[in-house]
Chain A
Amino acid sequence: MLQESDIIMGIVKVVSNAKEALKDVKDNMTIMFGGFGLCGIPENCIAELVESGVSGLTCISNNAGVDDFGLGLLLQNKQIKKMVSSYVGENDEFERQMLSGELEVDLIPQGSLAARCYAGGAGIPAFFTPAGYGTEVAEGKEVRDFDGKPHILETALTADFAIVKAWKGDKYGNLIYKGTARNFNPVMAMAGKITIAEVEELVEPGELDPNQIHTPGIFVQRIFQGEKYEKRIEQRTVRPRV
Chain B
Amino acid sequence: MLDKNGIAKRIAQELRDGWYVNLGIGIPTLIANYIPDGISVEFQSENGILGMGPFPYAGEEDADLINAGKQTITALPGASIFDSSLSFAMIRGKHIQLTVLGAMEVSDNGDIANWKIPGKMVKGMGGAMDLVASADNIIVAMMHTNKAGESKLLSQCTLPLTGVACVKKVVTNLAVMDITTDGFRLLERAPGVSVQQIKDATEGRLIVEGDIPEMRLD
A residues apposed to B, CB below 8 Å: 36-40, 62, 85-90, 95, 98-99, 105, 107, 109-115, 117-118, 129-137, 167, 178-187, 214, 231-241
Contact of A39 with B66 at beta-carbon distance under 8 Å, contacts A132-B133, A238-B72 already known: yes
B65 to chain A, nearest CB (A): 4
In the complex, chain A residues whose CB is within 8 Å of the CB of B71? 235, 237
Contact of A184 with B54 at beta-carbon distance under 8 Å, contacts A132-B133, A178-B64, A236-B61 already known: no
B residues apposed to A, CB below 8 Å: 45-49, 54-58, 60-73, 75, 81-85, 87-88, 91-92, 111, 116, 119-130, 133-134, 160-164
- On whether the beta carbons of A182 and B48 are closer than 8 Å, the reply is yes
In the complex, chain B residues whose CB is within 8 Å of the CB of A241? 57-58
Supply 12 A–B pairs (Cβ within 8 Å), ascending by A. Answer: A38-B63, A111-B91, A113-B84, A114-B83, A131-B130, A178-B64, A180-B65, A181-B63, A182-B48, A182-B82, A233-B66, A239-B54
B160 to chain A, nearest CB (A): 5
Which of A107, A117, A131 is the one whose CB lies under 8 Å from B134? A131
- On whether the beta carbons of A112 and B82 are closer than 8 Å, the reply is no
In the complex, chain B residues whose CB is within 8 Å of the CB of A181? 63-64
**Distance, CA A132 to CA B140, complexed state (A):** 18
Most buried by A among B57, B66, B67, B81: B66
In the complex, chain B residues whose CB is within 8 Å of the CB of A234? 66, 70
- On whether the beta carbons of A180 and B64 are closer than 8 Å, the reply is yes
- On whether the beta carbons of A184 and B84 are closer than 8 Å, the reply is yes
**Distance, CA A236 to CA B124, complexed state (A):** 22
**Distance, CA A44 to CA B168, complexed state (A):** 45
Contact of A233 with B63 at beta-carbon distance under 8 Å, contacts A109-B129, A131-B129, A132-B129 already known: yes
**Distance, CA A105 to CA B115, complexed state (A):** 15
| Closest 5 pairs between A and B when the two form their complex, measured CB to CB | A111-B88, A111-B130, A89-B123, A179-B64, A134-B164
- On whether the beta carbons of B66 and A135 are closer than 8 Å, the reply is no
- On whether the beta carbons of A107 and B84 are closer than 8 Å, the reply is no
- On whether the beta carbons of B84 and A114 are closer than 8 Å, the reply is yes
Given A109-B130, A114-B88, A135-B164, 16 more A-B residue pairs with CB atoms under 8 Å apart are A36-B48, A39-B63, A86-B126, A87-B124, A99-B120, A107-B122, A109-B133, A110-B127, A131-B129, A131-B134, A133-B133, A179-B65, A181-B63, A181-B64, A236-B72, A237-B71
**Distance, CA A117 to CA B122, complexed state (A):** 23
In the complex, chain B residues whose CB is within 8 Å of the CB of A130? 92, 133-134
In the complex, chain B residues whose CB is within 8 Å of the CB of A133? 133, 163-164
**Distance, CA A36 to CA B49, complexed state (A):** 13
- On whether the beta carbons of A131 and B124 are closer than 8 Å, the reply is no
- On whether the beta carbons of A107 and B125 are closer than 8 Å, the reply is yes
In the complex, chain B residues whose CB is within 8 Å of the CB of A179? 62, 64-65, 75, 81
